């Protein structure tokens, strides 16, 4: 597994803020996240996604938003960020 430190946390915050179309401070780019859910989302994104990447990578916005939607589902949180709430529904038959 790759490194998951302060720089990775800031990178995760910037990527999530960009993908979700929210202010960078939402995820704590220049301070603490707005709430514990956002902090946990950022840290789990670091662990699940960024720490698995090599030195150079590309992430499409859609991939980030799908990961975020899955994370919210795992946490059983139904109050989704607007950028995620507007994604088309998942057809579970496509993945079985």
CB-side neighbour CA atoms (13 Å) of 5: 2
Q: Domains in the chain: how many in total? A: 1
Highest mean pLDDT among 33-37, 45-49, 83-87: 45-49
Q: Which residues contact 72 (CB under 8 A, 6 or more apart)?
A: 78, 80, 84
Give the residue among 40, 36, 42 at the shortest CA–CA distance from 14: 42
Q: Is residue 1 part of a domain?
A: no
Model pLDDT, residue 11: 86
Asked if residues 92 and 73 have their Cβ atoms less than 8 Å apart, the reply is no
pTM of the model: 0.70
- Domain, as residue range, for 77: 6-95
Predicted confidence band of residue 52 (pLDDT cuts 50, 70, 90): confident
Asked if residues 68 and 84 have their Cβ atoms less than 8 Å apart, the reply is yes
């Amino acid at each position: 597994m790759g490194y998951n430190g302060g720089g990775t946390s800031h990178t995760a915050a910037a990527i999530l803020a960009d993908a979700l179309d929210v202010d960078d401070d939402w995820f704590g780019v220049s301070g603490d996240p707005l709430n514990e859910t956002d902090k946990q989302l950022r840290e789990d994104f670091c662990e699940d996604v960024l720490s698995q990447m090599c030195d150079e990578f590309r992430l499409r916005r859609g991939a980030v938003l799908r990961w975020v939607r899955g994370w919210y589902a795992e946490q059983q949180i139904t109050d989704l960020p607007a950028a995620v709430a507007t994604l088309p529904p998942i057809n579970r038959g496509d993945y079985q």
